[in-house]
Amino acid sequence: MADSHSKKKSGSRGKSGKRRSKRRSKRKSSRKRRSSRGPVWIPRTLLGDSVKGGIITSVEEIFANNYKVREKEIFDILLPNIKETVVDISMVQKQSDSGQQSRFKAIVCVGNRNGYVGIATSKTKEVGHGIRKAIAAAKLNIIPVKRGCGSWECNCGGDHSIPYTVHGKSGSVKVTLKPAAKGTGLVASAAARIPLDLVGIKDCYVHIKGNSKNAENTAKAIVNAFENAYKMMVPHDWTI
């Protein structure tokens, strides 16, 4: 009798143990799935719905109709190979009654190396969270960039440079972008090179005036120049 009891007990234990292990494995697998795929995106705007539903399939459509993008996942779907680069991280402080309160300021530039770029800043208590927040904000600031070959030395008609000279400004920093021939490379400072590289421009001359040590304003001035380039209509763009 004792043996049968022990057998039964052991059997019951074994079953429960199996169940537990199954449950655990289920939990683990669900966790893994969550971590690998991330939370499921539920669109909260009409534009988000139509992108997820497959009605809008290209970024050009969004910019042609002047839609306001309020969800970063829209660009995650339409521009799948977005790369991000941290331009600068600095510590900023404010004076409060209890002393100094310091936070980290992160400046991040995003782009797909094929005509789209965005830049944004964030201020948070932790660096990692700040970078993620800046990336999300930069995705919402994505703009289309005109590329071309405006160099009289090259005149190849490709899109390795910019089509004409443009100016941009942010704070005290004023930049002038000039088209360059194939093989010239980016004649620019480290901070100015980041947005140019992320947009896919390979050859360009950059002139900077003002406080060119300021990485944030230099990068922002370059993006401002891209914005200004898009405002200009040249005979090449005239279509009936």
Residues that bind Zn ion (CB under 5 A): 149, 154, 156, 158, 182
DSSP of 4-64, one letter per residue?
HHHHHHHHHHHHHHHHHHHHHHHHHHHHHHHHHH-SPP---SHHHHHHHTTS---HHHHHH
How far is the CA of 127 from the CAs of 40, 83, 86, 119, 221, in angstroms? 25, 19, 11, 17, 24
Q: Measured on CA atoms in the order 232, 48, 135, 114, is the torsion positive or negative?
A: negative
AA identity, residue 120: A
How many Cα atoms within 13 Å fall on the side-chain side of residue 217?
14
The one-letter code for the residue type at 111 is G
Nearer to Zn ion, 149 or 194 (CB): 149
Instruction: Indicate the residue among 51 and 154 with the shorter CB distance to Zn ion.
Output: 154
Residue with tokens 């922002």: 220
Task: Please state the closest distance from residue 43 (CB atom) to Zn ion, in A.
Answer: 41
Output 103 or 182, the one with its CB closest to Zn ion.
182
Least distance from Zn ion to the Cβ atom of residue 215, Å: 29
Question: Residue 78 belongs to what H/E stretch?
Answer: helix 73-78
Nearer to Zn ion, 122 or 161 (CB): 161
Question: Smallest gap, in angstroms, from Cβ of residue 162 to Zn ion?
Answer: 11
Nearer Cβ to Zn ion (133/160): 160
| Residue 235 DSSP class | G
Please identify, using beta-carbon distances, which residue of 197 and 203 lies nearer to Zn ion.
203
| Closest distance to Zn ion from the beta carbon of 196 (Å) | 16
Residue 222 three-state SS: helix
- Strand order of the sheet with strand 116-124? 83-96, 99-111, 116-124, 143-144
In the bound state with Zn ion, the residue whose beta carbon lies nearer, of 110 and 162, is 162
Closest approach, Cβ 190 to Zn ion, in A, equals 25
DSSP string of 138-173, one letter each residue: HHHT-EE---B---TTT----SSB-SS-EEEEETTE
Tell the smallest beta-carbon distance from residue 154 to Zn ion (Å).
3
